Amino acid sequence: MTDAPPRFSPTAPFVPMAGVGGHHAQTIVAALVRRPTPPPGHRERWETPDGDFLDVDWLPADRRAPHLVVLHGLEGSSRAGYVLETLRGAARRRFGAVALNFRSCSGEPNRFVRAYNSGDTTDVRFAIARMRDAGVTGPIFGVGFSLGASVLLNLLAQTGTGCPLAGGVAISTPFDLSSCATAMDQARGLTALYRRLFLRSLKRKALAQCARLPHALDPSKIRRAKGIRAFDDAVTAPLFGFLDAEAYYRACSAGPKLREIRRPTLLLSAEDDPLAPAAALPDDVLDNPWLSVVRTARGGHVGFLSGVPLRPRFWAEEQALAFIDSLLSRR
């Protein structure tokens, strides 16, 4: 595809499930009820060039069929409900897919203290290359959620016209990492609860790695971290060679890089997202014809729960696959 396709319009408007219209309700209830049965697949462990490993879940399909690489959010995994729902949609279309677990997220500690961040694309590039080495010849599309969406957009921007993906979908992206960290660190109420839950998991893993690999990080600084920015100062920045958290945020925020993308890409975000609001999307985003932007008034963070209680529907995953269908119809 050498020319940007027409911009995507949703196949249906987003209508929140009755009684679940608030941003926290969308975020929390969607996560609780999104419990799809995993489609048939299997787990593989791939040895990485640096001597560590990646655990991935394969959804098998004809090697000539379209394939997805699906990227989860902060402290998620390939077993997250939104990942499984995407895989189920892919299976119905007879697509193949690889759901990647970022390092430290598969349920087994990695060998090295290095984990993942919002802009590190090394492991995703490796995964796409492994898919090709395994014989996949059909087009590969990326679907990312939250932090995974940031990683995906960084990859699309970094590679431009040479991108190994045929297109991408980024859902609930934190476009400005610094403002998102500030909002979470200053938040009260349920948003503060999200922060505490993230930090508890992040700090537990980092301290466990410190015990296994002494001198890699300063455990006392990790224990003192009371916010996302403090954790990134203590762990993410030094692990990836950044001076501090702010330098990491500047280098890895996807928002300023959107103009560099040269593959059809859907940006789907909610105005009321408590963690990564759509308002952080740059004003000039539509100057890039390769980008389709869908902003909903409601939906929360990776929520977008519609339908009725006995038959919930997950609008974001539906629209992600509809966008990919629209691209395939033009190939």
Residues assigned a catalytic role: 146, 273, 301
With DSSP H G I counted as helix, E B as strand and the rest as coil, what are the percentages for the chain, rounded to 5?
Answer: 40, 15, 45
83 vs 267: CA distance, rounded Å = 17
Torsion 162-163-166-168 (CA) sign:
negative
Q: What is the largest CA-CA distance in the chain?
A: 55
154 vs 160: CA distance, rounded Å = 10
Show the DSSP H helices in the chain as ranges.
23-33, 81-92, 122-133, 147-159, 177-186, 190-212, 219-224, 228-231, 237-239, 245-252, 315-328
In the numeric block, which tokens belong to residue 194?
A: 């999200």
In the numeric block, which tokens belong to residue 5?
A: 């396709």
Estimate the crossing angle of helix 190-212 against helix 177-186, to 10 degrees. 110
137 with 108: CB under 8 angstroms? no
